Amino acid sequence: MDDKPSLLQRVHTLIVYLGAGLLLVNGSRTLLSRLQIRLWPQKAGEKPGQAANHASVAFLVDGENLTSHQVERLMERALEEAKKLGEMNIKRVYGSCNLFNSKWNDTCLHLELEQIHLAKPTANKNTADIALAVDAIELAVNGTCNRFCIVTSDSDFTPLVRRLRELKCQVLGIGERKTPNTLTKVCNWFVYTDQLLGPTSTSPSQRTPTTPYSIHSTSPADSPNEPSNGNQAVPPFQQPKENLSPTVITVLTEAYRDAVHGRMGEWVLLSRLGLSLRQLYPDFKAIDYADDLSDLIKKYYTVFDFGKRANGHPQMRLKQ
């Protein structure tokens, strides 16, 4: 009896092997494709952070670092500001489980913010900043987002922002006035929370224009409309163009004249000068140009005299 397979059996075996080989090849291609997307998301010659052909935005909030009692209103304004960067793809708030048992929970539900719950290893450790930083770098490297709005007042995020800038991403920072200069300077733009909140009732002429952020702006110095304040990263459109005179000196002089009611040469308390500034120029912030109003007056010592009363209260006057 001949044990050799027949021609039909040989053909059948060949077809089976060919089919298995094709399945193996297709499976290998699929696996390689997925690995390539995971490990090498950028196209040839494309740099990290530029994979998206349009402005895609990640809105990341350090919930543990905000002290504002107006959380929902602040988040609404911050989202409006972030939307000027481009298409909003990611909206996340990072914090401990206890954080979302309070007013944050309703805010996240109303504004569709994803809650990232983090368990604290110890009572004094904050894991939100680490988780936020890891996610931001991953989003930038895999090309998911090329613009970031980071809401925090913590200077620990300075290395993260610097790294995102190195990856050719644009970064908008939002934080409180206590935010150190190390963070505000490294961002492309930085907006203070009180600038976003502002007064409850604001006239149309005082509202912040809805001018979008320019994708070509890579540093605060790129805009000719920004004040020269040691590279302080303040958005150019945050300056009150419709009210602010060409120079800071003119603003301070008009506020001084208002404070002394035309009696030139008199000394006036800086607290009174600040009241006139808020009335005449509600969008003017001395901290945008110096450490505080006292330092701003001292900066223009050729125009103004600066001194202190016996009780230590600072005062100033216009030089004659």
Residues 121-166: tens digit of each pLDDT: 655 566 778 889 999 999 999 989 999 999 998 888 999 999 999 9
Tokens of 61: 């909030």
* Alpha-carbon span 142 to 307, nearest angstrom: 56
Tokens of 259: 């404070």
Smallest CA-to-CA distance from 58 within 138, 146, 186 is with 146
Does the pLDDT value for residue 195 go beyond 80? yes
Residues 256-312: tens digit of each pLDDT: 988 888 778 889 999 889 888 888 887 788 887 888 888 889 888 888 899 998 888
Q: Is the pTM of this model over 0.75?
A: no
Query: Residue 146 belongs to a domain with what CATH number?
Result: 3.40.50.1010
Smallest CA-to-CA distance from 189 within 231, 156, 159, 157 is with 231
Domain hosting residue 277, numbered range:
248-318
User: How high does pLDDT run on average in the chain?
Assistant: 75
Q: Which of 238, 271, 299 is the last residue of a domain?
A: 238
Cβ neighbors of 279 (< 8 A, separation 6 or more) are 258
- Count CB atoms within 10 A of the CB of residue 3: 4
**DSSP codes of every residue in 149-171:** EEE---GGGHHHHHHHHHTT-EE
* Alpha-carbon span 118 to 140, nearest angstrom: 22
More confident residue, 216 or 85: 85
Identify whether residues 92 and 182 lie together within a single domain: yes
Identify whether residues 220 and 285 lie together within a single domain: no
- Domains held by the chain: number: 2
pLDDT at 229 (0 to 100)? 35
